[in-house]
Structure 1
Amino acid sequence: MQNIPTELLRTFLKAIDSGSFTRAGSLVGRSQSAVSLQIRRLEEVVNAQLFQRDAHKLQLTEEGKSLAQFARRILALNDEALASMRQPKVAGRIRLGAPHEYTASLLPDFLGKFAQSHPNVMLEVTSDLSKNLLRQQANGELDLVIALHDDAGSAKGRLIFTEPLMWITSADHERHAQSPLPLVVAPPPCIYRHRILETLDTLGRPCRISYQSSSYDGISAAVRAGLGVTVMAESAAPSGVRTLGERDDFPALGHLELRLHRRAGHASEATDRLEDYIAESFADTDPGRGTGRLRTSLATA
């Protein structure tokens, strides 16, 4: 039985995620022509065309979309197996900080797989708002922090994910049409709260805070119940809500960046492994498509 070489699958996914063969080549250490040859070889192995040939940008065929789902699962298992076999002796304690919504939904999956391949590493996870976590790290209380930033130009740390924001409201109420606009937000220093209030102030649109919670579940429930409008990641809106856009007089909110921060002077092989694992896991997360889709809210970061 013929096997699919993992290096072909890895190049295939890099081409999808980066949007071009040229950028994919720089990520896998190959030329653009070498990437093209690898994609052609992969198409021969699976006996299917993976990209639309007449498109101005890379667009997957239906067969390509199907293979991409399998590829992410195959490579995840491959990398997990290698990490388990090659690094069984990595040990230590890592104090990890992350916003509430990540520790509630996405990180358990990532960290569970990491723990399986690194059984001698003990994780201590702290949940809080991004700015609070960074403050704790500066005080030496956390080794690694996952934090969101709205000041991309001056942000430090390792960029691991970028996603647009969206306005959401209840599917069963018309709170977005009220004045002043009722808002469901997290307490300061939430950067999403700041983005919302700054945007509405620029528009000269009156608003009021109708519900405040640092809990993702609390904010989601309040929006579904019709208590007000909030902002979430595009890929993370819970059920029972509707999105708002320019047609509803709600402007685009731009993007936010998710970055990994390492405590200054902290040297640890275990932390090295976790940092790379988290970064690669988010790189393989694909907002807008079904498999691996990011399922977290950014409303309480």
Structure 2
Amino acid sequence: MPRNLDMTALRSFAAVAEAGGVTKASGFLNLTQSAVSMQLKRLEESLDLKLLERSGRGVVLTGAGEQLLGYARRMLALNDEVFGRLTNQAFEGEVTLGVPHDIVYPAIPQVLQRFAAEYPRMNVRLVSSYTKGLRKMFERGECDMILTTEDTLEAGGETLMTLPLIWIGAPNGSAWKSRPLRLAYEHACIFRAGVQKNLDEAGIPWEMAVESDSTRTIEASVSADLAIHTVLEGMEPPYVEKIQHGGALPDLTTKQINLYVSDLAKGQAIEDMAEFVRQAYRGL
């Protein structure tokens, strides 16, 4: 009697092999780690072969696993092609895009509009958080691609643009003249420590006047002239403006806007989404 391979287990095996571990693969597959581990166990039992070996915090393929991976990729590709062609749902599914709060505008609405026009049957899940949080989600396989604001570029990423940080305050505001200088920042803002260091080096006393986990709270406080804040040039939110301080405040550093695309996220839709993101930011 012929035996059949479990395609779901085979997909989990391929994802784990390509991700180098169960944690990232489970996030990408939208399954629990225990569910993925169980599928791998069933696959090994059905073949009576050891396919994966633990190595540190990840896994490595055995000789049998390396051989199976080649077959698995071809079988999964053929499986997906059959469903795509016979059901006319080649571009149904979901893309998860992670973007820091402060660089969503003005580029991301353009990206979403363009993607929706090209792939009307696909859903885009937009995750807006801080760079540190987005990187953790990306490492767990919970985002297909993320944008970050960083000082340097990590392995596997690409820099879309480099922009200077600028001081922002209320239109015609005077909070920037106060001493100690009143600052408003989110708790997890990646710019916060660097700005404080710049002020210390310039000999300007400061205090955290407004702290919050909400970007909207920070924006409202700044627009009310209660404190000042920093953003990447060109990314200023409404109701605030760049402070023309004439040298009364220190110049700030530059930051890179970087793009990372998961090696588990494949297909034309993913490639096009990444290209739409590149074009939107480079066109600013």
TM over 0.5: yes
> By percentage of residues, which structure has more strand?
2
Shift of 1:126: 1.2
- Give 2:183's aligned residue: 183
Shift of 1:162: 2.1
Shift of 1:211: 1.0
- Give 2:206's aligned residue: 207
In the alignment, does 2:114 pair up with 1:113?
yes
Shift of 1:223: 0.9
Tell me if structure 2 keeps the 8 A contact 1:179–1:206. Answer: yes
- Give 1:269's aligned residue: 268
Cα RMSD over matched residues? 2.4
Shift of 1:156: 5.2
CA distance in 1 between counterparts of 2:103 and 2:228 reads 21
In the alignment, does 2:259 pair up with 1:257?
no
Matched ranges for 1:144-293 at <5 A:
144-151=145-152, 157-188=157-188, 190-238=189-237, 240-244=239-243, 247-285=246-284
Tell me if structure 1 keeps the 8 A contact 2:199–2:205. Answer: yes
Question: Taking structure 2 as the reference length, what is the TM-score of the superposition?
Answer: 0.61
Question: Taking structure 1 as the reference length, what is the TM-score of the superposition?
Answer: 0.58
Shift of 1:89: 4.4
Shift of 1:166: 0.9
Counterpart residue identity of residue 112, structure 1? Q
CA distance in 2 between counterparts of 1:234 and 1:171 reads 16
Q: 1:212 to 1:90 in 2, by over 3 A?
A: same
* Structure 1: stretches of 5+ with no match in the other structure: 1-87, 286-301
Shift of 1:161: 2.3
CA distance in 2 between counterparts of 1:159 and 1:131 reads 17
CA distance in 1 between counterparts of 2:206 and 2:181 reads 4
Report the structure number with the largest CA radius of gyration: 2
Deviation readout 1:95-133 (Å, 9 max, x if unpaired): 211112444654123212211111232212211101110
* Structure 2: stretches of 5+ with no match in the other structure: 1-88
CA distance in 1 between counterparts of 2:155 and 2:233 reads 22
Aligned length: 196
Tell me if structure 2 keeps the 8 A contact 1:149–1:258. Answer: yes
Q: 1:242 to 1:278 in 2, by over 3 A?
A: closer
Counterpart residue identity of residue 229, structure 1? I
Tell me if structure 2 keeps the 8 A contact 1:114–1:274. Answer: yes
CA distance in 2 between counterparts of 1:116 and 1:255 reads 34
CA distance in 2 between counterparts of 1:118 and 1:242 reads 36
State the identity %: 24
CA distance in 2 between counterparts of 1:158 and 1:277 reads 14
Counterpart residue identity of residue 150, structure 2? H
